[in-house]
Chains A and B, each alone.
Chain A
Amino acid sequence: MEDKNYPQAHKKILASIQYPQIGEAGKTGTWRTMRPLIHEDKCIVVKTGTHNCHLCWLYCPEGVVSRTIPPTIDYDYCKGCGICAQECPHNAIERLEEGGAKACPA
């Protein structure tokens, strides 16, 4: 383990230390079978331009929905659990089958 952050001691002896890193379990987006898609035309935060909802941010266990206008989802790590779509009071989040035609608009 070579890194500037690693204390010298742990290069001479091995101690079981871990350091913060994104994607500890890899790109967990690959676990996903259903992809959440935010329809901005239905999203109250986008429509009003104010931070008056963000329930998708609140309830995401993984913390991959942003608290921004518009909200965005980090698909690299979103596990596709569907909580955001379920909890959205405005039905602005649609769940699409991963790999299906609609799921990859770009």
Chain B
Amino acid sequence: MDELTIAGESFSSRLIMGTGGAPSLDVLDQALEASGTELTTVAMRRLDPAARGSVLDVLRKRDIKVLPNTAGCFTAGEALLTARLAREALGTNWVKLEVISDERTLLPDPIETFDAAERLVAEGFVVLPYIGDDPALARRLEQAGCAAVMPLGAPIGSGLGIRNPHNIELIVEAASVPVILDAGIGTASDAALAMELGCDAVLLATAVTRAQRPDTMAAAMRAAVEAGRLARLAGRIPRRRYAEASSPMTP
């Protein structure tokens, strides 16, 4: 597999995993191993003295780079504080910027996201913003200095796949930074489609962690991302309205 490069850092896996939704750290560990991921998100929350084990230990053992997110933030101000705390706690200036508009849809708020992105870039963060499938916003965030853009396929945890493949293609066509399809993946064919559309990577969590067999689905996602990437690089045949014989028509 050709390498994915984000902000000058290279990854041989194009599957970025989330850690939310796994029933236990053991199940998560097995799924992460099967996925082959090298970059995985975590959330920042109040320390619980009763918590046993840490997701950080799992990632460290597997030598997976940690990507803190700002999940749960509704304003640019909240996202800024969360990113600064993550940098302090985890020693990374990378952040998946996620500012949501409401709890029912969990859709990203474009205004707050853009505001936070500008301020985080100015503070030296490597910013990967989660956004709607909006080509104009993706372009503006790239111009603002974001290291990648992360358009959704469908709402978080919905498993609805890629609802607007055309917009994802438009984002890919215009982008000079990596495009990472984030949210909405339900099964392997969704991940393959994202890569066929030209996305540079896929980020998913729920589709694996809440599958009946997470490690098996993780292996499926890994294969799907690789297959989709290869198909993209191979260049697919054009779609035709009618048949085109692949065997000679003359006797």
Q: Do A and B bind each other?
A: no
Interface, chain B (partner A; CB < 8 A): none
Interface, chain A (partner B; CB < 8 A): none
